[in-house]
Amino acid sequence: MTVVSAPVIKTALPGPKAKAIIERDGKVVSPSYTRSYPFVMARGQGATVEDVDGNVFLDCAAGIAVNSTGHSHPDVVAAIVEQAQKFLHMSGTDFYYEPQVRLGEEMDALAPFSGPKRSFFANSGTEAVEAALKLARYHTKRYGVIAFLGSFHGRTLGSLSLTASKAIQRKGFGPPLGGVYHAPFANCYRCPVGQRPDDCDAACLSFIDDQILVHLVSPDEVAAVIVEPIQGEGGYVVPPAQFHQRLRELTTRHGMLFIADEVQSGMGRTGKMFAIEHFGVEPDVVTAAKGIASGMPLGVTTARSQIMAWPPGAHASTFGGNPVSCAASLATIRLLRDSLVANAEKVGAHFMQGLKDLQEKHTIIGDVRGKGLMLGIELVKDRKTKERAAKERDRLVDECFKRGLLVLGAGANALRLSPPLVLTKDEADTAVRIIDEALAVVGSAG
Ligand code: PLP
């Protein structure tokens, strides 16, 4: 692909070739997918993507926070080709191969807690969560799990029972797994318990001790608390450090496992390898997927070795830890470690400042938040009432697309920016400029 500076929009959107593909898709592909706008990918490089009609876009969505090293990074492609030429599959469940072992060693070195660790390999985020859930039950011999309102942990039935983001994601699939209890998440822009973040000492967490563990389930029947260190799908919500610190104290006190679901927030996106590192606590189990292999399917569940002590046959997956995915992941981790985690921190701070400047100008922006290149802006109809500007958010996503910027929504009324971690400051400035123009069209520019 010849690199041209994004954006370059040459046709009406969608263009004729995109239109034809979307028409075919409409007949044969599951209608459950949530396509926000008609982007049909032809190729990509770095943070630039081209559609089938030759329109060039700046990508601040990265296939839902996946293409961590940018599209088709040459090192990742070379690692994939090299492994593919040797063998494509040999089921790490029944046989051994070195790339899976090496990735286990990398996770042992990188996972955000001390002591020896073991990893289970799957193909996706939801499977990584399923493994964590089963492991927690197996290890503690307890059945209960506490999750948070607004959380997203996946869509298979176990993880869906933990997910509490949008009702449509659960509608029609009940009843969910028993023994799952949801507590309010520390969304300080909209405090669920009417407190102020500076002196609340994460009062929202009292709901667990004072309500769930009193009225619903005995603490000695709860295996784990699962939490996204920064809520992703729920709106890119960053809790205060006390929230995770108190949660760590609570889980330790009751003998529950602390599972950090880092499927979206992990692998360098926030300017640290794992987002939980921002909060000064160590979980017992961590789940990773999305950015871990730059786009190749891979999910990993890493736990303290004394916890991941289940016997042969207890859990496995035919494709999990596919050798090509492992090779892509090893190349990805090398790039993250060498420069991209640092780039996420540096360019993320610059991008955040640009968004904060937009907040000064556009009254529709109620909140700007995030860490590194996991950035969200929440749109409101009125800054005082904080009435959610959901339609305006949808329109903003669309207006960005028309101007050559790919972004996604999160929650009811937030815009999420989850670009490849190779994003440059110039590209961040381009994104801010386009969002500015799009906001002017959406309205409420003050
Ligand atoms: N956990 C979190 C925090 C996620 O953001 C997601 C997906 O968005 C998942 C789990 C599920 O991952 P997957 O879609 O790969 O199954």
pLDDT for residue 29 = 97
Confidence of residue 3 (pLDDT cuts 50, 70, 90): low
Atom of ligand 1 nearest to the CA of 64: 8
Domain range 16-72+339-442, CATH class: alpha beta
CB of residue 263 inside a 6 A radius of ligand 1: yes
CB neighbour burial string for 336-350, b if at least 16 within 10 angstroms, e if fewer: beeebbebbbebbee
CA of 419 relative to ligand 1 center, distance in Å: 16
Question: Residue 135: what pLDDT?
Answer: 98
Domain residue spans in the chain? 16-72+339-442, 75-335
Are the CB atoms for 39 and 407 separated by under 8 Å? no
Cα(357)–Cα(334) distance, rounded to whole angstroms? 34
- Distance (Å) from CA 151 to ligand 1 centroid: 10
Provide mean pLDDT across the span 148-153: 98
pLDDT, tens only, 314-341 = 999 999 999 999 999 999 999 999 999 9
Confidence at 2, pLDDT banded by 50, 70, 90: low
Domain 75-335 has CATH 3.40.640.10: yes
Residue 443 has a pLDDT of 78
* Minimum CA distance residue for ligand 1 atom 15: 125
The three-class DSSP label of residue 306 is coil
Distance CA 294, CA 335 (A): 10
Q: Are 99 and 83 in contact (CB under 8 A)?
A: yes
CA of 344 to the centre of ligand 1 (A): 20
CA angle 90, 94, 136 (to 5 degrees): 115
SS3 of the chain: helix, strand, coil, percent, to 5: 40, 20, 40
Q: In this structure, which residue's CA is closest to atom 5 in ligand 1?
A: 264
Say if CB 307 and CB 55 are below 8 A apart: no
Residues 146 and 208 sit within 8 Å (Cβ to Cβ) = yes
Ligand 1 atom with least separation from CA of 126:
16
The pLDDT score that the predictor gives to residue 445 is 43
Residue 27: strand pairing partners = none
Give me the pLDDT at residue 222, please.
Answer: 98
| 157-162, Cβ contacts within 8 angstroms, sequence gap of 24 or more | 158/129, 158/130, 158/133, 158/134, 159/126, 159/129, 159/130, 159/133, 162/129, 162/133, 162/226
| DSSP line for 10-28 | -SSSS-HHHHHHHHHHHHH
Nearest Cα neighbor of 438 from 380, 351, 349, 358 is 358
Range with the lowest mean pLDDT among 198-202, 220-224, 375-379? 198-202
Cα of 152 from ligand 1 centre, angstroms: 7
Average predicted confidence (pLDDT) for the chain: 97
pLDDT attached to residue 1: 57
Check pocket membership of 284 for ligand 1, CB cut-off 6 A: no
Q: Other CB atoms closer than 10 Å to residue 206's CB: what's the count? A: 16
Question: What per-residue confidence (pLDDT) applies to 315?
Answer: 98
Read off the pLDDT of residues 339-378 as tens digits, 9 standing for 90 and up. Answer: 999 999 999 999 999 999 999 999 999 999 999 999 999 9
Measured from the CA of 124, which atom of ligand 1 is nearest? 15
Mean pLDDT of 376-392: 98
Inform me whether the pLDDT recorded for 48 exceeds 90. yes
The residue behind tokens 């801010």 is 432
How far apart CA 21 and CA 415 sit, in angstroms, is 27
- Bridge partners (DSSP) listed for residue 380: 388
Which of 367, 444, 433, 371 is closest to 405 using CA atoms? Answer: 433
- Give the DSSP letter of residue 293: G
Predicted confidence band at 75 (pLDDT cuts at 50, 70, 90)?
very high
Q: How far is the CA of 210 from the centre of ligand 1 (A)?
A: 30
User: Which residue among 33, 124, 152 is best mutated to probe the pocket of ligand 1, counting the most ligand atoms within 8 A of its Cβ?
Assistant: 152
Q: How many Å is the Cα radius of gyration of the chain?
A: 21
Helix H or strand E segment including 416:
strand 414-417
Point out the ligand 1 atom lying closest to the alpha carbon of residue 287: 1
Model pTM above 0.95: yes
Atom nearest to 262 CA in ligand 1: 3
Ligand 1 proximity of 160 Cβ (cutoff 6 Å): no
State phi, psi for 365 to the nearest 5 degrees.
-85, 110
